C-alpha cells in the first residue's frame, strides 16, 4: 500500500493508517480554518444573503423551521444566535412535532407558522422536498429560504433562495456538509457581506466571531453521521477545541457532564455517544423544542435542568428501544430458518412500536442481519381517512437507500406517499394497506442491486500492531490525529492474544487481561461491550483473536492503555 509523502516526523504506523483513508501528505493533515472551502462555491448563497439583508434592513419577522433531530436543533440554534448577533430583532423558531406534522415544511406547518406572522421562513436541515409547503407559504405572502443538505427529488421547490450543496449544478466540493454546516456557511457569508457595508460599525454592534458557533457545528455534524471529509474534519476539529477549552454553549457542557465526559480529553465519538443521543431523545419521544432551548440558553442552571430532562428522556428511549429490538428479533427468529429465506431487503412493522424510535431499531437490526432494513410504525390517518404507517430505513455499504425508494416509487405509482433522505438513511410514508406490496417491491429491488457477497458482514481493520506499538503513547498519537468518524474511521486493529483473566462486568460487558503470545510480562487490559452471554465468559478460551481499538483509560488520575474490543472469537 502507498504510504504517502509524509515527513519523517510522521510515524510509520500512522502513515499506514492515513494512507488507507486516502491521506498522503502532511498538508492534508492540516485542519485549521484557513483550509476551509470558500463559501462562494455554494450555489444560491448570494441570493440567500441578499434575502436576509433585505429582511434585516426592514427588520422583518424571521421564523426558522427546524428539523427534529440533533442536526436540526444545532442548525436552528446557530441561525438564531447568529442572526440576533447581526442585528435581527424579530427571530423565532418552530420545530414540528414529528407525530403530528411529520417531516419538512408541509402546508400544515405553514398554517402553524402563520400564528407568528413571519415575513421570511428559513428551513434548516429540511425543505428541499417541500414543494407544496413552499407554495402554501408564498401564497400567504411569506418568502422562503431553504437551507438543507438532503438529496433533492426530480423537482425543486420554488423557494426565493435555496442553499444545498446537493442541489443540481452546485459546485461545492463537499457534498457531505451537515445541515448545521450549511447554516454555518450561510451565516459566515452574511457576516462578511455586512462587514463590507460597515453594518456593524454603523449599528454599534460587535461583529460576531463565527468560530464561536463551531461547538454547535461539531455536534450537529457528528450526530448526523455525515462523512468526515477534510472540510467536515476541519469544522469538527475546531469545534472540539472550543469544547475542550470550555468555550461552548452551556447546554452542550451540561450534556457532557451528564455523560461523564472530561472536557480536556473530549473526542468526536463523545459527541456521537454522550451528547447526540440525549439531545435526540427530545425529538424522538416528544418535542425537540426542549433540546433547542437547552442549546439556546446562556444560564448554566437552566441548562443543567433541561439537560437532566433530556437525560431522563434518553433513558426512557433506551427502554423502549430494548423492548422493540427484542420484539423484532423474536419476529425474525420465528420467520427465518436458514439464510436462503432472508430477504435481501427487510421490512418490519409492529403497531405497538414507537414512531420516534424506529430509526434506531432499523439501525440495530441492520447491524445484526447486515441487510438494508426499514422499520415501520403507525402514523395515524391521512386526509382521505386512510391509515398510514411511517418507515425509517437504514442501509449497508453499496446500496443507496434513497435511490432504491425512488425506483420503487417510480415503478409502483402511488405506492409510496412521501420519501426522502440520504444514501445510508431515509424515511417514507405508506398507506397501511399497501405495506405487503411495498415489502415485496423493496425486497425485489434490493435483490437486483446486491449480490450474496454484499450481504456478508465484513470487519475491515488496519491490520496487526507490533507489541512495541501497543503503548499509551500510540493511543495518544491516534487520539491526537482525529477527529475520526463516518468515512474516516477510527483506527481498528486485529491480532491474537493469550487470555490471562476474564470476568463479566455489569450485565453484559466482558473485562479481560491479555498478553501478547510468548510474552506473559507484557499484559493489556481490554473490555468488550454487550457480549453474547451464552458464549462469554468462556473459561476454556486460552487464546483469542480480537478486532480492537486503542484507548486510554483514566482512573483516579492514572492513565493506562486499554483495548476496546469490537469483535472477539476463540482461537
Predicted confidence (pLDDT) per residue in 221-265, tens digit: 999 889 999 999 999 999 999 999 989 999 999 998 888 887 778
pLDDT, position 62: 98
pLDDT, position 502: 93
Closest residue by Cα to residue 380 from 567, 176, 100? 100
pLDDT, position 284: 79
| Conformation bin of residue 72: beta by default, left when phi > 0, alpha when psi is -120 to 50 | alpha
In this structure, what are the phi and psi dihedrals at residue 41, rounded to the nearest 5 degrees?
-75, -15
pLDDT, position 337: 43
Say if residue 347 is preceded by a cis peptide, omega within 30 of 0.
Answer: no
Please list the ranges in the chain whose pLDDT falls under 70.
1-4, 98-102, 333-341
Task: List, in sequence order, every residue forming a beta bridge with 429; answer none if it has no partner.
Answer: 390, 418
Question: In the structure grid, which three cell numbers stand for residue 298, read together?
Answer: 446562556
Nearest-angstrom CA–CA distance, 220 and 75: 7
Let me know if 17 is exposed, middle or buried by CB neighbors in 10 A (0-12, 13-18, 19+): buried
Nearest-angstrom CA–CA distance, 208 and 188: 9
Burial state string for 414-448 with b = 16 or more CB within 10 A and e = fewer than 16: ebbbbbbbbbbbbbbbbbbebeeebbebbbebbee
What are 330-379's pLDDT values in tens digits?
A: 777 665 544 456 788 999 999 989 888 898 889 888 988 889 999 999 98
Nearest-angstrom CA–CA distance, 375 and 328: 9
Question: In the structure grid, which three cell numbers stand for residue 135, read together?
Answer: 407554495
DSSP string over 435-494: HHHHHHHHHHHHHHH--GGGGS----------GGG-SHHHHHHHHHT---BTTBPPP-EE
Residue 457 near residue 371, CB atoms below 8 Å: no
**Nearest 10 degrees: CA dihedral of 471, 477, 480, 483?**
-90
Domains plus CATH for the chain? 1-28 (no CATH), 42-246 (3.90.1640.30), 336-455 (3.10.310.30), 467-570 (2.40.50.460)
Amino acid at each position: 500500500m502507498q504510504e504517502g509523502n509524509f515527513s519523517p516526523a510522521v510515524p510509520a504506523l500512522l502513515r499506514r493508517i492515513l494512507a488507507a483513508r486516502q491521506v498522503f501528505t502532511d498538508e492534508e493533515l492540516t485542519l485549521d480554518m484557513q483550509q476551509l472551502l470558500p463559501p462562494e462555491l455554494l450555489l444560491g448563497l448570494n441570493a440567500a444573503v441578499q434575502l436576509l439583508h433585505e429582511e434585516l434592513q426592514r427588520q422583518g419577522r424571521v421564523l426558522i423551521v427546524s428539523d427534529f433531530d440533533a442536526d436540526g436543533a444545532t442548525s436552528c440554534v446557530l441561525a438564531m444566535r447568529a442572526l440576533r448577533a447581526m442585528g435581527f430583532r424579530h427571530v423565532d423558531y418552530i420545530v414540528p412535532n414529528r407525530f403530528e406534522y411529520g417531516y419538512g415544511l408541509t402546508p400544515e406547518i405553514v398554517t402553524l407558522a402563520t400564528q407568528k406572522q413571519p415575513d421570511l421562513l428559513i428551513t434548516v436541515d429540511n425543505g428541499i422536498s417541500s414543494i407544496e409547503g413552499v407554495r402554501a407559504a408564498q401564497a400567504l405572502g411569506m418568502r422562503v429560504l431553504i437551507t438543507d443538505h438532503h438529496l433533492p427529488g426530480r423537482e425543486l421547490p420554488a423557494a426565493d433562495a435555496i442553499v444545498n450543496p446537493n442541489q443540481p449544478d452546485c459546485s461545492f466540493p463537499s457534498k457531505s456538509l451537515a445541515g448545521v454546516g450549511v447554516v454555518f456557511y450561510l451565516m459566515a457569508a452574511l457576516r462578511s457581506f455586512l462587514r463590507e457595508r460597515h453594518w456593524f460599525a454603523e449599528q454599534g454592534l460587535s461583529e460576531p466571531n463565527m468560530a464561536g458557533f463551531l461547538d454547535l457545528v461539531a455536534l450537529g455534524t457528528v450526530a448526523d453521521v455525515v462523512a468526515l471529509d477534510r472540510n467536515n474534519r476541519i469544522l469538527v476539529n475546531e469545534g472540539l477545541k472550543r469544547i475542550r477549552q470550555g468555550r461552548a454553549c452551556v447546554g452542550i457542557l451540561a450534556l457532557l457532564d451528564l455523560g461523564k465526559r472530561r472536557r480536556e480529553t473530549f473526542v468526536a465519538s463523545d459527541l456521537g455517544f454522550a451528547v447526540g443521543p440525549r439531545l435526540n431523545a427530545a425529538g424522538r419521544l416528544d418535542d425537540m423544542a426542549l433540546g433547542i432551548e437547552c442549546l439556546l440558553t446562556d444560564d448554566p442552571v437552566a441548562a443543567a435542568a433541561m439537560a437532566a430532562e433530556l437525560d431522563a428522556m434518553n433513558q426512557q428511549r433506551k427502554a423502549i428501544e430494548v423492548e422493540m429490538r427484542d420484539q423484532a428479533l423474536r419476529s425474525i427468529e420465528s420467520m427465518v430458518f436458514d439464510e436462503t429465506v432472508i430477504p435481501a431487503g427487510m421490512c418490519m412493522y409492529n403497531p405497538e412500536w414507537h414512531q420516534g424510535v424506529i430509526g434506531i431499531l432499523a439501525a440495530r437490526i441492520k447491524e445484526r442481519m447486515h441487510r438494508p432494513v426499514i422499520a415501520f410504525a403507525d402514523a395515524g390517518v391521512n386526509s382521505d381517512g386512510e391509515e398510514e404507517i411511517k418507515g425509517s430505513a437504514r442501509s449497508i455499504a453499496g446500496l443507496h437507500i434513497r435511490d432504491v425508494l425512488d425506483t420503487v416509487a417510480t415503478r409502483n405509482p402511488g405506492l409510496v406517499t412521501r420519501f426522502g433522505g440520504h444514501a445510508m438513511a431515509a424515511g417514507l410514508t405508506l398507506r397501511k394497506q399497501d405495506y405487503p406490496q411495498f415489502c415485496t417491491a423493496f425486497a425485489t429491488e434490493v435483490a437486483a442491486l446486491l449480490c450474496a457477497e454484499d450481504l456478508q458482514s465484513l470487519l475491515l481493520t488496519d491490520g496487526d500492531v507490533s507489541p512495541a506499538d501497543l503503548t499509551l503513547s500510540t493511543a495518544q498519537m491516534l487520539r491526537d490525529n482525529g477527529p475520526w468518524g463516518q468515512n474516516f474511521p477510527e483506527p481498528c486493529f486485529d491480532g491474537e492474544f493469550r487470555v490471562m483473566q476474564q470476568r463479566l462486568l455489569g450485565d453484559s460487558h466482558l473485562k479481560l487481561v491479555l498478553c501478547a503470545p510468548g510474552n506473559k510480562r507484557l499484559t493489556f487490559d481490554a473490555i468488550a461491550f454487550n457480549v453474547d452471554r451464552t458464549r462469554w465468559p468462556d473459561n476454556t478460551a486460552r487464546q483469542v483473536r480480537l478486532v480492537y481499538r486503542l484507548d486510554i483509560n483514566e482512573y483516579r488520575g492514572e492513565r493506562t492503555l486499554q483495548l476496546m474490543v469490537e469483535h472477539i472469537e476463540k482461537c
